[in-house]
Structure 1
Amino acid sequence: MRRLKREDVCYENARPRVLIGTDNWQLIVSRKLLTGKRHEPAASLTRLGWVIHGLAPSRVIRDSDTVLYVDSKCRAERSTKLLDDELHSMVKEYFEIDSLGIVKKARENPDETRAIESFKSTVENVDKRYKVGLPWRKEDISMPPSYDQARRRLLAIENKMDKSVEFKERYTAQMNNMFEKGYAEESQGNELESPKLWYLPHFAVINVNKPGKLRLVFDAAAKSNGVCLNDALLEGPDMLRDLAGILFRFRERAVAVTADIREMFLQVKIVEEDQPAQMFLWRGDDRTSPPKSYKMTSMIFGAKSSPFLAHSVRDHNATKHAIEFPRAHEAITMNHYMDDWVDCFDTEQEAICVIKDVVHVHAQAGFTLTAFNSNRPNVLRELPLESRATAPKQLGTSADQHGRTLGLIWDAESDELSFNTVLVRVPQEVKTLERTPTKREALSAVMSIFDPLGLLSYYTIRAKIIIQRVWRLQTNWDEELPDELANEFRTWLSGVESLRSLRLSRLYAHTGGVTRKQLHVFCDASECAYATAIYWLVEYEDGSKRVILTAAKARVAPIKAQTIPRLELQACLIGARLATTIIREHRWQPHRVVYWTDSRTVLHWINNDRVRYPPYVAHRLNEISELTEPEQWKWVPTRDNVADDATRIVNDVKCKDDRWFIGPSFLYENEDSWPSLNVIDDCDIGRHDDIVLNVTNVEWSVPDAGRFSKHERLVRAMAYVLLFIDKCLRRANEMSMTHIRKAEEWLVKRAQSETFGEDIERLRRGQNLKMSSRIRKLDPFIDEDGVLRARGRTRAAGVSAPDTTPVILDGSHPYARLLCNREHRRAHHSHNERVVNDIRQRYWILRLRPAVRAVAYKCAFCRMRKTKPVRPITGDLPRARLEAFTRPFSNCGLDYFGPMTVTVGRRHEKRWGALFTCLTTRAVHIEIVSSLSTDSAIMALRRMGARRGWPQVMYSDNATNFRGADKELREAVTEWEPSLRDYALTQRIEWLYISPGAPHQGGAWERMIRSVKSALRVTLNEKAPRDEVLHTLLVEVEHTMNARPLTHVPVSADDPEALTPNHFLVGGSHGLPITGPCETATKKTWRVAQALADEYWRRWLKEYLPELIPRRGARDVNEAAIKPGDLVIVADHTLPRNVWPRGVVTQVHPGPDGGVRNVEVRTKGGVFRRPASRLAVLPME
């Protein structure tokens, strides 16, 4: 290859990745050949360029190498992309963990809010198993075809299974497990019609830390026609608790407990309408028949919404039981990370009680806790054997039998923490120092060390510094490190194995006899890195002390060079952030917090707020001042600053008794011997700017009145301008009333010059005003201050000059409008004439009344106070009120009333009434409900159906409309609704609710409730009658109401009897027997009854129905309809008018007649559905 010209070879730093197949012969035919000695490689020139032929050394061939062939598209880059994606994911995860406690969390965005609302609207508990809907990005989602790509991926998996019997057995076992447990089921075909239909490819994932466990993952990121399922779903907010916070709390108390939820994701069911989006293909061992379609009924691994939904279900279930099990609620919502529970307690008895409560609460959601571990055997003895941890072995060792705790290794027997430094993603020959690592392998090794609390920061920072130096060289990912850096990295890598023997106590300190707890924060920086290390200092009654490292963070200095003081300031900033996180996440609370730094410059910056610092320094000082107090900061010599250990390149692995882990020695001494330094103002690095002014002569240098909303703000802004002038001239240093008076004077003169400029100029010249002047009749003049005033005819009134010579203004000028607005507010928004009278005391404003009216019209408070709710024209009656020739009670309205007190034996009990009213015949049926349980409500419905026949449609109030009912009944109805609705569905009853907050829509039964109560007040003479008496009275009231006339009562005896509901129920107003020609002929009697029923319905149509035609009510005016975008206030007569909520109409819902009856309003409390009659539209101009 040396014989080739350099321009012929353009593969600098390239590595061969592609084996070209013979099916593309035109690409590999040699056009030129170069050969060497025997056993040496040869080179041939092809259309693709130069190709190397020969044997590769066996040591460079690895099982993980990917061999591809040339297709219509070159696929060689795919393996590299997979490696890059894996590395990118690893780096991202590492820096997220590395930033715990020192980086602010992002605010919730609108997509996350929508995901939360979607969860709240779909979550339900069915038989102790939760169902949720997928959080779709769009409501009208329609997915493209995806069957083909799922089938191709299935064939790839089957090919892999055919090559490995072990893989096939494990994969098939996992699939069968899902079928057996009901997590997946075969499709019945009806899913194919759903617009959400989506076939998911599936594959296996093996955790490097759990080599014996294979997990099935559904690839929701796989695209078909440019779309994937994850694109259509909302990810939702990050519901994970702070990992560092959980580990902090895990170290506080003596009794430690860990466990995890078995198959947490799969315990959450997906609602039926969303299950077509989770289809997949499978055919087991059969390779001849077409794949069968299955659907996941549970939540899948692989969808980006799954973590959010799983955590939301877990926390939602815990919150439901928070009152009954408060400690379990805290354990679940605060100390669960993903499906792991990590907690600690003061005593064994407390641990056992909380474990039982947590297990019970989880069981209400179908979650099962397993793999329990504890440092106290007595705790484990209280648990079933099958739910205890089996102590799995860790990779790369045969001796350690420890459990993994959120990535760390916890030895429950010795109650110590250690670190997993096996580096499973790094090739073995690199770990054994047999080969120089590449840039990719070096970065992978550094990212593989899991240290969320930064306890190993003193050691890992050296590798980060080496990686930064490699980065500056801009080498390729797969290029080996230069010799100098490779040697440094080998030295660092050789010490990683020693970290595995490092063991730290899990428990901070025993809490018995503790008198005080302090938090000490050390900060330091060098030209290479900056760091912070934080320690708990626990003092005991006997005078002893215990100091233990709590957390640390170390970061590489930016590539762009910074001064040491700036890096020291950055170290202090991350120290303040991390300390704030520690205080927030711990149940412990320190009696004192002390911050230590060896930088005198930074101490001066923190204690000096009189100097103007550069933006870089000022921004960081501002945040430090928000998190800490200046008196908390102290100086420490560099030799005693333990944070200095994490800013240098050190090769030694520290033991657990090193000062890095137990703090500096001076913390064990009395505070009198602690380092001290008086901070003096000797470091002035503030910016001193020379001010250069460019003086320009401007006619009017006053604020523009049109840019202000209040007169007071305009006057004060002008006063500050005058104060600035006085300060420049050294005439005044503080605001006074003189500045306010002069400001008003300047503003008045400017307004007059803009509206009466020509008139003022004529008066100054001593000329008469034009005949067309608007102020000629006011006899204007200019006073000694230059203000235009009206002389008028009242100078002889004997009052002060301002009252007889008012200031002239134009009512259309912005200043005059602001003046009117001020007086309007001072008059407490009273009548306009009152405002006009107040203004006329000092000002003569042209067109004053129109100006005052305009101000009052635009006043937001007056709009709120005077606007009236919309009164839409009375709507058409529903079909249920007009449907003739139907069985009574086919269309029902339901309402409850009570409670009523009855006497049972020697005690008093409560009874409630359930009133069913036929919307067509206006008949009523009353049932007594003995309790507010769901069973009693269903029994009342069953009795009514058995006696009157089952309704076809049932109307009732929304629970939020029970304002008139007592609190107990209102809460009971809210609890009944789901069960009543479910029971109604079994009886084929369509249950409809009126709009929330619109009780007038249920007037048909509300009026009946009123009549029942009126009748009871007349007939019920006892305060607490016997149960039988109340039952009898209610039946009699029912009969009385059903005997009331629906039509006009006749005057003449020849006219037929007035129609009553009883005519439709029993054939007459008082239930008299049906007469006919032959009493014994049953068939003829039936015909007579049928004829009478038809006659009653014909009379109903002729006499009763016409009375429903008029739209009653004097307020029935067809006002302008509400439309989306209108600004409205929601009338709530339980609140004062000035606190009625305001909102914006987002959607309108017209009735059958086209009139707007219900709307959706967005307020600060959320989006609500309200009737149009409850809304008052506010003008928006």
Structure 2
Amino acid sequence: MTVHVFGAISSPTSCIFALNRTADDHRSQFPDVADSVRRNFYVDNYLDSFDSEDEVIQRSRQMKSLLQLGGFNLTKWTSSSRTVIAVLREFVLASPALDLDLDKLPVERTLGVMWDSKRDMLTFKIRKPPNNVTLTKRAFLSIISSVYDPLGLVAPVIFTMKSLLQDIWTNEERIGWDDVVPEILSQRFHCWYDHTQQHLHVFTDASSKGHGAVAYFRTVFEDQSVNVSFVMSKTHVTPVQGLTIPRLELQVVVEGLNITLTICRELEIDLRQGYRPKGCDELIYFHRGPSFLNLDPAEYTWEEITEPEERDVNVIRVLAVKTEDENHVIDRCVVRFSSLLRLQQVLAWSKRFANNTRAKLRDEKPMVGELTELVFAEELYALRKNLELQLRSKLRTFRPFLDEVGLMRIGGRILQAPIDYAAMHPILLPASQLLTKRIIWDHHVRHMNVKTERLLTDLRARFWILFGRKVVKSFINNCWPCKRTSAKPSPPLMASLPVHRLTPHLTACTYTGIDYFGPLTVRVGGRGRRHEKRWVSLFTCLTTRAVHLEVANGLSMEKFLLCFSRFVSLRRKPKVVYSDNGTNFVAAEQELRQALEELTSKHDELPTVMACQQIEWHFSAPHGPHFGGVWERIVQSCKQAMKTSIGNCLVTDQVLRTVIAEVAALLNARPLTHLSVDPEDPDPLTPNHFLYGGARPYLPLQLADVEDMNDNRNSNSGGEVTKLSATYIQV
């Protein structure tokens, strides 16, 4: 064996065996090192400690020499001594790019435990879920399992969490793996995790020269020792124009708040309250923070901030006036009247009474003009001042302009088109205004509840509604008359399929469905031609979907039995038959049963044989054609094929039988499974596979040339058959 399998169950055992065998084979050369191999190796990790640096260097070289004799090359060396690491550079270090003069010694993972090689100390890292993630039993178990402590160095800490996990597991609420842990148990976890109290303190101050803010972390450990660490600071020089001290104080408070929010966001901590000291001067005092942070919070000195006097503040009073009227007369009228015609009449008479004008009775200009004033105020101002519209304006792409009466219309490049001016430059309307909906409703009703495309076309002859298609479609979807006329009944839930539709591994036509369709008119006779009716008897296999068609001269029981006999002779005798509750089917079933009883009563040896050949007949419920969907779908395909082939032509009986035979061949060649686009996939399954054992694709015969049949006086039948042969039919 020259290759070691990685990841197999036997891999650790094989690795340890190979190491021990190497140590035993060369024990005579390296006796002490061989014992270290057997004692201090854990799979592929070697961990050992020595009293002096010279001993470490000597043992490292001996260990590498011994294992090289067995084909093992030790790499990723590290040590807590920089001198040892400098000597071991001749081997492959764990951190090859380590700068011994500038870089810190790395923290390596040893046997699943973090080893700080600089302090020569084992450390453990406990992962805490993010603040926005709820604590579940699954997350809690993951946190406990992430701590690997084979020697029990942090057993007291882990024991507390194991006890909490037991309480979660035995909780009376039966907490699931992804259920949120109750608040009481969650608090116990946070109290255990946050064993240290860490607070963020932000200090601000301002003067006539400048202002600034500085942030510190104050940490209180379990032994009540306090540590203060600097986080960040910001300073600003007072502006040249000068500001009052209260205003500078407010600005520096805002700066302190921004620092606080930045630190809390980046470190994902909660916001704590701050304390305002008297000041800080020296740089060392600035880095270490105020000395009172080492005291208990109860010993802090508080300083109250008084309100500034009126004379120290420059008071600027601003009077703001809102020019837009929320209760505009147009809006009130649109809300009051639901009919656009009535709204036009009221506004026209109101305008005429107020301004003594000649406004037409049904003119939209007064309404639309004031509507655009309310919605497109900025665009109208720019157009009246001959200014360019802003880049953020929704109307910029429409190149709008104002006509002679002040209405906003769509621009364009079709000025020379011989169409109406209103259709060439329609009026712009906002999408969300109630007046727009009134205009849409008026056109919708006047055009007899037309659909989206027609209604939008009629509207754009005069108006251009922003997002018009979306607005019109939403309006039609909420129109109750349209909902009533276009409503479709909910399809009923179909029952389970009968067992005879699902029984596999049987010969085709073992379970058969029967139906009739027609009548079809044919011409018969020579000189004294007459017309007669024919029907088609359809037999379909309920499992393989194979089709057999027979032409019946009538709907009587005798005619059906003849068709049934031909079907049995060509295919096979079915065991179970399903059909509609037609009178001919009921009579045929009774006739077959009566004939069978008479036959078995006359011959003594037949009852046993015929008992195995009886046909079980099932009738659909009266007036329930949906029970026969399996053959109704085939009837539709047959009618479609016959309509494509002979259409409304009056054919002879012989031609009809030929067409029926070719339609049956066409249906039996249809695919039952998905037709793949991959040429390497197998051919789709067809009913012919069950009937003949192969695909047997439908290939119609060319009986004669069409030109020759046109010259033949008696070629009508052949021409009609050729038409079917030359036609592609989709079923």
Q: TM-score, normalised by structure 1?
A: 0.20
The higher relative CO (CA closer than 8 Å, separation ≥ 6) is in: 1
